[in-house]
Structure 1
């Protein structure tokens, strides 16, 4: 089983429109609402593809109730921690002409120190026997910089590989704690390390203590850097909604890491799953027919 932890979940709402025009009134063709947040999206993709997963995160308020109801309706295995703060909302406006998506993301509500301890305890109780732990997404306001580093320490103490998808100082803290895999995008890596070159930035995180770093480069693919080598992977361009592409990549990396696959195989799967997510109607899903997308992988 792959466990995902989402400390700052959201109710994701996607509006589909013909064209997005600033300052104009838009007629929404369709609305998609679902429990979101990066870790939940990772679990959704894994669940869709038949990989055992458990999604963990806090939930509170009316939107927290909606988030919980969606998880139940979708059949996604989950364990939510009841908290007093309200769950946030994100809104994605997906346009057809030109194909594009605009995202509005609320910051979320702070968790108390007691709630952080309760969340850590919940994850710790589920770690024995897990194939991997994924800690993914933004942290709520006021979260400690070492929030994800604490989960990394838990996983390492249980002998469970841990993947972290976050930016800024929490990314560096997770590296120092010894995260097995970090998956920032290029901007997150740049803000955390100051390096313009993704390979150089990734090597800074390796030097800090990370086992491997996979950097998302958008349409340019991904770079994976480990202590034993570096690889660049790129697939064909796919038009659609890129909102959940990074989450699908993390799902692929988690599954491949738990299975002990080689790094060229891991990064190729991450690029292919990312492309399959872009073609899906919303975050947390993939188009299965695109999972075998041809990906070019080269060693750097």
Structure 2
């Protein structure tokens, strides 16, 4: 079983609009509402692919009740920790004409110190039955210093995958986690290094074992002590990218649950294919059944550590 941990869940609200015009008034059909947050998206993908997963997160307020109702209807196994703070919302506008998505994420409100203690204790207890622990997404403002460290420690000797940003990304690397999954902007922001290869190697130097770096339309980079590979499709895909990184995390977790000695090309191919398959779907937490064909179409190349991956496809 793969345990996913979401410290800052959200009620995801998605509307499709013919064309978004700044300052304009728009009409849309009824939007889709579902339980979200990066760890919940990871669990949803794994569950849909027939891989045992369990999600743990917090719920609070009226939005928390809405998240709980939707998550229960999804049949994704889960454990919800009640908190006083209301669950945040995330809003996505999908522009049909341009094929892109505009997202507004509420920052969230931190649970109380005692609620965080209960949350960490629950992660520790649930980790006993897990083969891999995934910690995904942002932490709400005001979350205790050291919370990420405590969650990683709660996983015990299980391999941990972390998908987060800012100083937390560096803290996860310092903790020696198995896999980190930043995107290009998150990596540059955390490390202060603009070159993606050099930034990823800095995370390895700090202690991470593998870095999967999302490059958007340019595909994905895998960096480990065994080498550096880049995978990309012959042509970029248009769609909703909001769950692409979560799908990549789910793919890495699915392989790590079977074999802790990840083969660099195998994990890169699956991560890139699942990520691309998520772009083709209207909502985060889903991947297209075309992912095997996308994996076969990938162009995988070795990257010289002294060069930067090509900026064009």
> Which interval holds the TM-score relative to the shorter structure?
over 0.9
Distance 1:265 1:292 in 2: 15
Distance 2:50 2:30 in 1: 28
**Secondary structure of the equivalent of 1:47?**
helix
TM-score after normalising by structure 1: 0.97
Report deviation, 1:145: 4.3
**Aligned with 1:176 (options 174, 180, 192):** 174
The root-mean-square deviation of aligned C-alpha atoms, in Å, is: 1.1
Report deviation, 1:114: 1.4
Correspondences of 1:186-201 after superposition (within 5 Å): 186-201=184-199
The answer on 1:254 being equivalent to 2:223 is no
TM-score after normalising by structure 2: 0.93
The corresponding residue for 2:306 is none
Distance 1:47 1:152 in 2: 23
The answer on 1:245 being equivalent to 2:244 is yes
Conservation of the 8 A alpha-carbon contact between 1:145 and 1:169? no
The corresponding residue for 2:42 is 42
Distance 1:80 1:154 in 2: 17
The answer on 1:2 being equivalent to 2:2 is yes
Conservation of the 8 A alpha-carbon contact between 1:53 and 1:77? yes
Report deviation, 1:153: 2.0
Report deviation, 1:128: 1.7
The corresponding residue for 2:208 is 210
Aligned length: 298
Distance 1:121 1:59 in 2: 16
The corresponding residue for 1:129 is 129
Report deviation, 1:237: 1.7
Report deviation, 1:258: 1.5
Q: Alpha-carbon deviations, 1:187-209, whole Å to 9, x = none?
A: 11001111111111111111111
The answer on 1:263 being equivalent to 2:261 is no
Report deviation, 1:264: 0.6
Q: Alpha-carbon deviations, 1:28-51, whole Å to 9, x = none?
A: 134100000000001111111111
Correspondences of 1:40-189 after superposition (within 5 Å): 40-155=40-155, 157=156, 159-189=157-187
**Secondary structure of the equivalent of 2:243?**
helix
Conservation of the 8 A alpha-carbon contact between 1:4 and 1:39? yes
Unaligned segments of structure 1, at least 5 residues: none
Conservation of the 8 A alpha-carbon contact between 1:248 and 1:284? yes
The corresponding residue for 2:279 is 278
Distance 1:229 1:19 in 2: 43
Conservation of the 8 A alpha-carbon contact between 2:59 and 2:81? yes
